[in-house]
Amino acid sequence: MAFQNFTVNVVSFPATTGLDWTNSYSQITLTITPDTGYSVDANNFSPIAPLPTYVNSVTFTQNGTNIDCIIVYTSPSIMPAADVLIALCIQGFASEAPIVIGGTLKSGGITNVSTPSAGDLPSNFSGSGKWDSSLTVFTQAVVASTGYYFKTKPVLSISKGNRSEYTVTSIETLDPKKRLIQVVFSVSYKFPVNDVSGNEFVLIANAIQYYNPLVKITAYKFNTGTVVNAGGDTRNFTIYGITGANWALIGSYVPGNVIVVNASGVIDGTGKAVVSVIFPATTNVDRTYTFTLTGDLATSFNTANGQTSTPSVIQYIQSSLSLAFTSTNAAVTPGSPVIRYFLPYTSTSTVEYTVTATSSQTITVANNPPPAILWTGQDGVSPEYIIEVLSQDFVVNNLSSPSTLTANVVVRVFNAGAVSKASVLDLDNVLI
């Protein structure tokens, strides 16, 4: 027998006229069955009083998705000659049955995130609702670890199930520099007619590290490798750093403690600041210039692997290299030393000297020219003068009075020292 959204079966049994049927059938059970898409609850059913003739009691018991309606007859109940139809009036209703969805969220590759944390996935989701209704079955936040961001937006996609039944939305969060650091996914499900299980979603989220440097002065560029020209010079002191870093530069020389630069500022969008340093000329004293860089210096300064914050450079007055003859022979008169001037520590150069001597006697050179190694001072080491006599041309004139000796000497100067140097040739070892 059909009712609204559920049915109740009809039970019949044979009975002998004049006998008590409760001896064989003291009670019967009717089954209340819900229609498809509905459910019944025994608590929602009850008999309507008064109970019909022959009925002693009626109870309702849940039996799975059905209800057992147990009718106990009044004893004795004597079977009359005609059939007995017992019509039981009950009240109750069937409810629309919820539809159940169940599935799993898995990782398809997740790196450098704080949420979900290790061990959070896989995770299960479930929900229930009425047909054609929608329900948010799960939300999942994806948060990049500190110092990381999502260059590629995380992806949440269904790998098993009917895609048309799901709607995935997301809310993104950016940091102050517009980097994607968080996505919150929300998954809504529209319920079909039947229960569904075994659906799967896959989450892919890979964050990468971003560069977020401290606002610091990171380095500088300044030529301290070559000495300052005695006649003066101009060099740039270039300071590098992150935009907004403060800096100050002061430089002075000794002796005198004279300040040559005193500047300060803030690194702009170019990432650098350029200070022009003017070195004045010196004529009578060597100078040492010391510069002090202060401000928002990086921790690498003044370490074994970093730059010093107090670089220095030297300015020398000119030094000289002279060549001359010497002799203990009273008849021989060496000429004045021939002097050439150099800026200390300048690069290789080749110079020619003309060295002379006179004699009241005839001049004879034993070996013309004599060995170049006889010129002294060719064994110097840096920072002294380092020289080499490359060639010699000795010219003797005994027709004049006094006799003359002229030597044209070509010298290579590998390194000009800060201290003047004299190279001599002892004619006592040359003349016979």
- What residue segments make up the domains of the chain, in order of their start? 2-96, 99-209, 217-315, 319-429
Q: Is 373 helix (H, G, I), strand (E, B) or coil?
A: helix
In terms of Cβ atoms closer than 10 Å to its own Cβ (0-12, 13-18, 19+), residue 91 is exposed
63-91 pLDDT tens trace: 998 999 999 999 999 999 999 988 888 89
With residue 340 as reference, give the H or E element that holds it: strand 338-342
Q: Which CATH superfamily is domain 217-315 in?
A: Immunoglobulins (2.60.40.10)
Token pair listed for 265? 């500022």
375-403 pLDDT tens trace: 999 988 877 899 999 999 999 999 999 99
Percent of the chain at pLDDT > 90 equals 83
Kindly tell me if the per-residue pLDDT of 2 is higher than 80: no
Name which residue leads in pLDDT, 267 or 3. 267
Q: What is the mean pLDDT of residues 401-428?
A: 95
290-328 pLDDT tens trace: 999 999 999 999 999 999 999 999 998 989 999 999 999
Q: Do domains 99-209 and 217-315 have the same CATH topology?
A: yes
Contacts of 193 (CB under 8 A, 6+ apart): 37, 99, 131
0.85 surpassed by pTM:
no
Pick the CATH number of 99-209 from 2.60.34, 1.20.1250, 2.60.40, 1.10.3470: 2.60.40
- pLDDT grade for 142, boundaries at 50, 70 and 90: very high
Judge whether 198 and 160 are in contact, CB under 8 Å. yes
